[in-house]
Structure 1
């Protein structure tokens, strides 16, 4: 048994671990700004026509995401709080609407995660869950009070919301702890979930890294190796975890890196999974670099760059432009990646045109009216 690690690795290995757990779940794509604004206005019209509060909620969530992408976390936070306030001003709510309340509130934790603040993100999630359990207002870090007391009209409905929110808190809290490099705590946190899988999803990936940090690298490698893998991406993740465990143990990993590179080459990028595909490629490139396979790392990185230049997507362009291997790109390609990110409103301050700003404001107003109307209809006499 190896010695337990107390420090988070730096350099390429640390960068690779910071992307874990890595699973191809649905992830928003960053299209060009005009397209993103058009989507907002179109969704607002749909919400108005159908009087669907979930569609209206999507308008506000996307607007907050766009603000965050543009480097305006303060504006994103205000949008999230305003969004939640439309519901909370009309408590008690149905279970359906009470769940919608937590989309912008959980997004407050996401904003912290985006800033690299895993522990404050977890504190937000914990306090939201506590408030629902106690039928109390939530006091978030910094003293901000969220009026959650009396959220639903009955204890039965509140218990339903609490059970649903618990699963979110476990899943998102695990990511927050992993982001903070607290892998053992992340593993323990995730074990509270009733949704356990024997595949290389979040739980298994966190378990492997946690074991490696605890010095149980042989067990960690065995878990990565023996976990059933059905898809090519799972084989690539298993091989990447094996490389990471070997490096954490202080051993050479050239042979393991070769297996990882072959497994990654078998992964076919898919439409709609551009963000995952790029982050998997960067993880493989970082681990190959850490294992001394720099030419292979450069090849994987350049392939990902080529895909993004041919089929632009903002988050991928930002991640590629910020990567350590970007220094080896021709200036034209570096500038093009930065331009793609900027065109999509990602990676730094991006100024909206007056037209864009006006259309977003109009979309938010329409969506707020739908939410307010739905929340007003949800009022019912208090039940025991």
Structure 2
């Protein structure tokens, strides 16, 4: 399976082994000139990809959204639509539990979701298999969020991908006992099967590379991308970690080539490329690259609903690199990032802004306090999911589960 996936992209990226040594790296082994951007800041900023993420309004609104989906599922007479609405409710409920620092509850909800499709007397439909893949990867993401190291979560994502490709049932870590993931019998056409594999593959590349990067394990993140088809020509997570891993091992020329030779089809692609170009630039070109990056950010706007978190990350990256290159706009950018996050009212965006000292050190205390309030109201501090709100969550899970399997 590994060969099948990686072969499709093996000819689409530059081979890092054929490049000349980087003439701009410091002579001391292991020291890399990235302006004054520290390795920890790089890990906090990249990979940077414009992917939609569920909005994170106040916790009560999030729970209401889950309840609405669960009620729609129970009222639906069309099986596929009921499965879709129930999936929204169960996925949302697990995410809320995880965000509210209740990982065992999140695992229990995900396990319940998977077990709705276990023991059927018929093959799974493609829609049902997609629900199983999504729930199984949610188990892995919970491990990535709560474990001190990313190894177990990444391994789980790999196993889900392999099981999807091979049409095999597997066991994953649950709360008390292993969870059976029923991917061995799916009624799908070859094209539908390819789409299921692509879903699991994307979850691995997005979640796995980011987790390894956060841990500072860039070489492993790059290996993961190469092995599982993430080294294509678009400047997504895989190609980004390939470039940064080269930069951090004194192969700056190769890093720059990987960025320069990437395919770009949208303004956001060019925005991300400008950030990486400024990060990887040779000393003599670094400030000019930072100017281009800052100008692109100033001219940019949000792509729309679901991108508040990306906007916060993008702005934070620009602020961090601008400050590292002593660009005078760093403080101005930090203020704009904070304003946008506050304007969105999105807990994920506010939380992301607060992670970066470059921003929190440049904005007034009242803005920091308001950002902290947005995070708390969204339930992200772990204090909100109790009492009636917890009961509402549990009731929604029961409704959604009953809509799919009334016999359980």
TM over 0.5: yes
Shift of 1:46: 1.3
CA contact (8 A) 2:45 2:316 kept: no
For residue 122 of structure 1, what is the aligned residue in structure 2?
Answer: 154
How far apart in 2 are the matches of 1:19 and 1:128?
A: 27
Cα deviation digits, residues 48-103 of structure 1 (max 9, x gap): 22241121011111111111111222221222122212222436541422331122
The answer to whether residue 367 in structure 2 is matched with residue 333 in structure 1 is yes
How far apart in 2 are the matches of 1:99 and 1:5?
A: 43
* Equivalent residue runs for 1:273-352 within 5 Å: 273-293=307-327, 295-324=328-357, 325-346=359-380, 348-352=381-385
* Equivalent residue runs for 1:1-384 within 5 Å: 1-2=21-22, 5=30, 12-50=38-76, 51=79, 52-90=82-120, 93-96=123-126, 97-115=128-146, 117-130=149-162, 133=166, 135-140=168-173, 144-148=177-181, 151-152=184-185, 160=193, 163-164=197-198, 167-168=201-202, 170-171=204-205, 172-192=207-227, 198-246=233-281, 253-272=286-305, 273-293=307-327, 295-324=328-357, 325-346=359-380, 348-352=381-385, 354-373=387-406
Cα 1:152–1:226 change in 2 (3 A) is closer
Per the normalisation by structure 1, the TM-score is 0.83
CA contact (8 A) 1:288 1:297 kept: yes
Shift of 1:320: 1.7
Shift of 1:340: 1.0
Q: Which moved more, 1:231-240 or 1:167-176?
A: 167-176
Per the normalisation by structure 2, the TM-score is 0.78
Cα 1:164–1:302 change in 2 (3 A) is closer
CA contact (8 A) 1:92 1:150 kept: no
CA contact (8 A) 1:98 1:151 kept: no
Cα 1:53–1:317 change in 2 (3 A) is same
Cα 1:340–1:173 change in 2 (3 A) is closer
- RMSD, aligned α-carbons: 3.4
Q: Which moved more, 1:84-93 or 1:313-322?
A: 84-93
How far apart in 2 are the matches of 1:243 and 1:91?
A: 57
User: How many residues are paired up?
Assistant: 369
Cα 1:287–1:355 change in 2 (3 A) is same
How far apart in 1 are the matches of 2:31 and 2:150?
A: 17
Shift of 1:190: 2.7
CA contact (8 A) 1:92 1:151 kept: no
CA contact (8 A) 2:209 2:221 kept: yes
Shift of 1:31: 0.9
How far apart in 2 are the matches of 1:192 and 1:300?
A: 37
Shift of 1:250: 7.8
Shift of 1:286: 1.4
**Which structure 1 segments of 5+ residues have no match?**
377-384
Q: Which moved more, 1:67-76 or 1:213-222?
A: 213-222
How far apart in 2 are the matches of 1:226 and 1:308?
A: 32
How far apart in 2 are the matches of 1:18 and 1:155?
A: 40
How far apart in 1 are the matches of 2:129 and 2:377?
A: 36
Cα 1:153–1:276 change in 2 (3 A) is closer
Cα deviation digits, residues 286-313 of structure 1 (max 9, x gap): 12222233x4222111101112223311
Shift of 1:22: 1.5
Cα 1:112–1:299 change in 2 (3 A) is farther
Shift of 1:18: 3.3
CA contact (8 A) 1:46 1:55 kept: yes
The SS at the match of 1:27 is: coil
